[in-house]
């Protein structure tokens, strides 16, 4: 990974290419981010940088975080993310990373937290099928079915598809085309949809396109 940045999902829209074709895109307000911490292979076993993004009020930070920013002598940030960049060794605490690090036409991976859908049953959560509605089906048409646990092993195996909280999980969409960069407004325009609701925090990393 050569490049990485933190941003906010603004929303989706559409643009037209030079041939007049409609391209559905997601607009991300990315950066500017500041390098808050630097890790080296000699001291930590690997090279990486920690980027900070977004303004935050002093009252919303814990004392350890306040000390973390004071040690780096940088402005306090709301979001911190670590990136293992190939050129991390050449970066220093206090450096600024913005959208100019990317180029239109390259591919990126976008990571975010998907929309939360609350408590869901097995059918909705795992796209299952209900039982027949006739011939004595009984009031169990949307139930999970037999657990398969008798005297052995007398427990439910991990990974069993059961009702529970759906969504609100980390999702990465890979190989998205970076259509346009607006350096003046710190915007990245990515083809297609990215995870998370409008206003959520996402991370953008460059990738190698497959196929």
* Model confidence pLDDT, tens digit, residues 141-184: 888 777 776 777 778 888 888 899 999 999 999 999 999 998 89
Residue 122 CB coordination number (10 Å): 19
Sheet holding 33-39, edge to edge: 79-83, 48-53, 33-39, 96-97
Q: Say which DSSP state 183 is in.
A: T
pLDDT at residue 125 in the model: 92
* pLDDT tens, residue by residue, 27-36: 999 979 999 9
Asked if residue 97 lies in contact with residue 31, where contact means CB atoms within 8 angstroms, the answer is yes
pLDDT at residue 140 in the model: 83
Q: Give percent of the chain with pLDDT exceeding 70.
A: 97
Asked if residue 209 lies in contact with residue 41, where contact means CB atoms within 8 angstroms, the answer is no
Residue 35 CB coordination number (10 Å): 20
Q: Of 118, 54, 49, nearest to 83 (Cα)?
A: 49
DSSP per-residue codes, 71-110: HHT----SEEEEE--TTGGG--TT-EE-GGGS-TT-EEEE
Local confidence band at 210 (pLDDT 50, 70, 90 cut-offs): very low
Fold exhibited by the domain 4-117+170-207 = Elongation Factor Tu (Ef-tu); domain 3 (2.40.30)
Rounded CA separation 69/152 (Å): 54
pLDDT at residue 50 in the model: 92
Using alpha carbons only, how large is the chain's radius of gyration in Å? 23
Q: What is the mean pLDDT of residues 66-91?
A: 89
Rounded CA separation 102/99 (Å): 6
- Which comes out higher in pLDDT, residue 152 or 197? 197
pLDDT at residue 208 in the model: 58
Q: What is the mean pLDDT of residues 65-92?
A: 89
Asked if residue 207 lies in contact with residue 195, where contact means CB atoms within 8 angstroms, the answer is no
pLDDT at residue 141 in the model: 86
Local confidence band at 135 (pLDDT 50, 70, 90 cut-offs): confident
| Whether residue 153 has a cis bond before it, omega within 30° of 0 | yes
| Annotated domain spans of the chain | 4-117+170-207, 119-167
pLDDT at residue 8 in the model: 94
């Amino acid at each position: 990974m050569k490049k990485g940045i933190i941003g906010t999902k603004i929303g989706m829209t559409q643009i037209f290419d030079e041939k007049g074709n409609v391209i559905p895109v997601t607009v991300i307000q990315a950066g500017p981010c500041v390098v808050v911490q630097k890790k080296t292979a000699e001291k930590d076993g690997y090279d990486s940088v920690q980027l900070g993004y977004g303004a935050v009020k002093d009252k919303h930070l814990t004392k350890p975080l306040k000390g973390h920013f004071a040690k780096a002598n940088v402005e306090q940030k709301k979001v911190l993310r670590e990136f293992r960049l190939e050129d991390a060794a050449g970066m220093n605490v206090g450096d600024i990373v913005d959208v100019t690090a990317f180029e239109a036409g390259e591919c990126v991976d976008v990571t975010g937290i998907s929309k939360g859908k609350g408590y869901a049953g097995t059918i909705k959560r795992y796209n299952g099928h209900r039982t027949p509605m006739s011939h004595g089906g009984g009031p169990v048409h949307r139930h999970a079915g037999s657990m398969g646990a008798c005297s052995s092993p007398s427990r439910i195996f991990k990974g069993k598809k059961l009702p529970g909280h759906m969504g609100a999980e980390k999702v990465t969409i890979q190989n998205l085309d970076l259509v346009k960069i607006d350096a003046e407004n710190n915007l990245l325009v990515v083809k297609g949809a990215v995870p998370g609701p409008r206003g959520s925090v996402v991370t953008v990393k460059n990738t190698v396109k497959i196929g």
